[in-house]
Every structure is written in C-alpha cells, then in structure tokens.
Amino acid sequence: MIFFIKETVSELKQSFPLIKSKKIQIKFFSSDKYSGGAFWFLPFWRVLFVNRDRKFNKKEWVGLIAHELAHFEIDQRRGWAKTFFVGILYWIFPDVRKKEEVQTDKMAIKKGYAREVYALAKKLKNKKIRKHYLKPEEIKSYAKKVGKW
C-alpha cells in the first residue's frame, strides 16, 4: 500500500501545476476518525498524512489523494503566511473548515477527479466529519455543472 500511495501522489501531482515540483512528505497514521490530511507546516515543509488502516479501493484512494493535493494547491495560491493563519481559523471555526473543505472538493472535481471524490464520499459514513464536505449528490451535481462528470 505504501508504494501505491507514493506512486499515486506522484501521478496526481501532475494535475496540480502549482505543486507538481514541490516536495511532499508522506506520513502514515492510524485513526478511527480521519482518513488523511494535508499540512503545510513551514514554507518548505508539506506533509500528506494518510490513514494506513483505511480499506479503500483504488478509486477511493485517488479521491482522497486528489482532495489532499487540492489543499496544497489552494495553499500555494494563498501563500504560506495566509495559509498558516487560515489553518488556525480552520480548527477553531466550523464555518471556516466547511468553506475550506468544500473549496477543496470543488478543486479536485475541476481537476477531473469527480468520480473518485464521489466514491470516497459514499464510502465515508462519519456524519460528524462528513458535514464539512460536499455530499455525494452535491459532488455529482457540481461535477455535471462544470462538465467533469
């Protein structure tokens, strides 16, 4: 699985021009709650966290990785200092978190990963976590609207 994740990150980075030349460390963790995360700790240090315990198929893994890489591309556009500030607000205010996650889902969809993000959304059942992201029917609707379904 580790090799698959690393290869998939390398492949998908090509769809994200602002980060395709950036180094991204991949770290694995275990959690009952989270599947992954993207953190830009310092201007030169990006880390993609992946839950090694998830039983995802290839399409769902691609959906997760595309979503997390979209975070990095949005952060790159924003700049490190603003990203750091937004990151603090993200953990304090649920409405900021919702806005960030929806924006990220939409970017992954626009990059051509609508069906993968959809498959991931259908797989994840934790309502407390899912409330911050687009619902499967919203993913499909948005993807059709932007011609990516």
pLDDT tens per residue across span 5-23: 999 999 999 999 999 999 9
Please count the other Cβ atoms lying within 10 Å of the Cβ belonging to residue 102: 15
Give backbone dihedrals phi and psi of 50, rounded to 5 degrees, phi first. Answer: -130, 130
The pLDDT value recorded for residue 58 is 97
| pLDDT bracket for residue 133 (50, 70, 90) | very high
The tens digit of pLDDT for each residue in 21-49 reads 999 999 999 998 899 999 998 888 999 99
The pLDDT value recorded for residue 129 is 76
The pLDDT value recorded for residue 6 is 94
The pLDDT value recorded for residue 119 is 97
Which of 40-44, 79-83, 139-143, 145-149 is predicted with the least confidence, judged by mean pLDDT? 40-44
Question: Where are the domains positioned within the chain?
Answer: 2-145
Question: What's the whole-model pTM score?
Answer: 0.95
The one-letter amino acid at 1: M
Instruction: Give the whole-angstrom CA distance, residue 60 versus residue 6.
Output: 15
CA-to-CA separations, 85 to 36, 46, 95, 105, in angstroms, rounded: 21, 16, 15, 21
Q: Which of 131 and 49 is assigned the larger pLDDT?
A: 49
Q: What percent of the chain has pLDDT over 90?
A: 89
The pLDDT value recorded for residue 1 is 80
